[in-house]
């Protein structure tokens, strides 16, 4: 099994769209940067056919340190979640059928 | 923000024509989708990672009617937020 990284994406952008590797790396960084900034600003990002990132507010809750059993309060926090697009789910389950 | 918003924002950030930006955004998400379809992982440092979980099918029952149903094997993709993004999102002053 392989893992796709930013370097692979940059290579693909360089080869398919006609950029130098360095330029393509910069473009991929900026693309990810736009998604990041939106999420940090609390805005969701939806890519049709791929999925949607959302920012959720979690309420504070009482928790426990599982090692010591000590009770503690977990503060409210903001988290990023991602939900796959139904199109992607279908494609993932049609492969090999 | 949707895909057209992302295309416009990238065009501005990277000083690219809209058409080029659209080509790139489509290529990147298409490549990511194909990676997951192949069952591979995606890892983008500081942002997050994607992986596909495989679930075995099983025979279940509709609890209301008792009817027997077959749930087939399925593959579902998941995203895990990277530490840097997780911290930034949580600490943002909104």
Q: In which region does residue B27 sit, left (phi positive, over 0), alpha (psi from -120 to 50) or beta (all else)?
A: alpha
Residue A83 sits in the same domain as residue A58: yes
Domain check: are A32 and A74 in the same one? no
d(CA A25, CA B42): 16
CB contact under 8 A, B76 and A84: yes
> Which of A9, A30, A89 minimises the CB distance to B10?
A30
Considering its fold, how many domains does chain A have in total?
A: 2
- The CATH number of whichever domain residue A88 belongs to comes to 4.10.520.10
Which among A7, A32, A58 is the top mutation candidate for probing chain B, defined by the most B β-carbons within 10 Å of its own β-carbon?
A32
Give yes or no: residues A50 and A97 share one domain.
yes
One domain, residues A55 and A84: yes
Q: What predicted TM-score, i.e. pTM, was given to this entire model?
A: 0.90
Q: How far is Cα A40 from Cα A53, in angstroms, rounded to an integer? A: 11
Nearest to A31 among B25, B42, B90 (CB): B25
A14 and A51 within one domain: no
Q: How far apart are CA B86 and CA B81, in angstroms?
A: 6
Per DSSP, helices labelled H in B1-94 are 3-14, 18-37, 83-91
> Which residue segment(s) compose the domain that A48 sits in?
44-97
CA distances from B94 to A6, A34, B3, B5 (A): 29, 18, 24, 21
Q: What is the pLDDT along chain A (97 residues), one digit of tens a residue?
A: 799 999 999 999 999 999 999 999 999 999 999 999 999 999 999 999 999 999 999 999 999 999 998 999 988 999 999 999 999 999 999 855 5
For B2-42, how does the pLDDT look when each residue is reduced to its tens digit (9 = 90+)? 999 999 999 999 999 999 999 999 999 999 999 999 999 99
Please give the Cα distance from A45 to A55 (Å, whole number). Answer: 9
- Chain A (50-79) residues lying within 8 Å, Cβ to Cβ, of chain B: 50-51, 53, 55, 77-79
């Amino acid at each position: 099994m392989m893992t796709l990284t930013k370097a692979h994406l940059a290579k693909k952008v360089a080869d398919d769209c006609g950029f130098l590797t360095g330029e393509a790396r910069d473009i991929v960084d900026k693309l990810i940067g736009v998604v990041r900034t939106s999420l940090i600003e609390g805005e969701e990002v939806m890519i049709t056919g791929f999925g949607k990132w959302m920012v959720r507010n979690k309420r504070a809750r009482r928790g426990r340190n599982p090692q010591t059993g000590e009770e503690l309060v977990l503060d409210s926090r903001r988290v990023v979640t991602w939900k796959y697009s139904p199109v992607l789910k279908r494609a993932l389950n049609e492969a090999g059928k | 923000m949707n895909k057209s918003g992302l295309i416009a924002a990238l065009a501005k950030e990277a000083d690219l024509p809209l058409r080029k930006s659209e080509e790139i955004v489509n290529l990147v998400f298409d490549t990511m989708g194909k990676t997951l379809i192949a069952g591979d992982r995606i890892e983008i440092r500081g942002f997050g990672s994607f992986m596909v979980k495989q679930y075995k099918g099983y025979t279940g029952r509709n609890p209301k009617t008792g009817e027997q149903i077959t749930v087939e094997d399925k593959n579902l993709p998941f995203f895990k937020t990277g530490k840097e993004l997780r911290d930034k999102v949580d600490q943002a002053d909104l």
